[in-house]
Each structure stands twice: as C-alpha cells, then as structure tokens.
Amino acid sequence: MTATATTRHYWCTLRDEPWSGEAYQHAKGYGKPPAKCEYCGGGISSMVGVLAVIAWRQDGRYQLDDAVKVFVRQKAAEAHCDALGDDYVVRFLATS
C-alpha cells in the first residue's frame, strides 16, 4: 500500500532525560509541531510518515505494505482500528 498524504510526528528532545520530569508532560503528537516544548522549553524533533492501521504482530515489525489503511489524523486511524477489532493496532510508520 502506498500513501499519498503524510503527517508529521513530533516530540520533545528532552522527554527521556531523567532530570526533565515526567515524559508524558512534554510535547508530542502529530501534525504541525510547536516551536518548542510548552512544558520544558526544549527543542522539537520530528519525522514524516503515516498512521497505519495494521494487524498486530508479536515481534513489532510493522511495514507499510502490510497496512490495512493509512491515515494522517490520529483520531480517524483509531476509530477505524476500533471498528476492526482487537487484532489491529495503529502505528506511526516513517515514509522518508
């Protein structure tokens, strides 16, 4: 399956530092990234890809060709995944 549209996954570069507080408080998400992390002021890293609804695999090795459907919005991907049942998951897959 080839994706025609992509989204951007971003995260705070300091989220995994032990001194930076709880990781869930740092900036992360999909779409247009902020200029800096609202929580700590750290830099933002990002990559381009798609949100793929894909059959769950125990080894966690997901490929774009195995996707049932791809999305650019997280809510749409999760809704489609929920409709398919427990054997499917949403994963971000980088395209570049």
Does residue 12 sit within a domain?
A: yes
Q: How far apart are CA 13 and CA 59, in angstroms?
A: 27
CA 83 to chain centroid, in Å, comes to 19
Q: Could you read off the pLDDT of 26-79 as tens digits, one per residue?
A: 989 988 899 999 999 999 999 999 999 999 999 999 999 999 999 999 999 999
Amino acid occupying residue 29: G
**Residue 83 DSSP symbol:** H
Does residue 84 sit within a domain?
A: yes
**Residue 64 DSSP symbol:** G
Does residue 2 sit within a domain?
A: no
**Range of 68's domain?**
7-94
Does residue 1 sit within a domain?
A: no
Does residue 57 sit within a domain?
A: yes
Does residue 29 sit within a domain?
A: yes
Domain count, the chain: 1
First to last CA, the chain: 15
In this model, does residue 3 exceed pLDDT 50? no
In this model, does residue 25 exceed pLDDT 70? yes
Does residue 83 sit within a domain?
A: yes
Q: If pLDDT is split at 50, 70 and 90, which confidence band does 2 have?
A: low
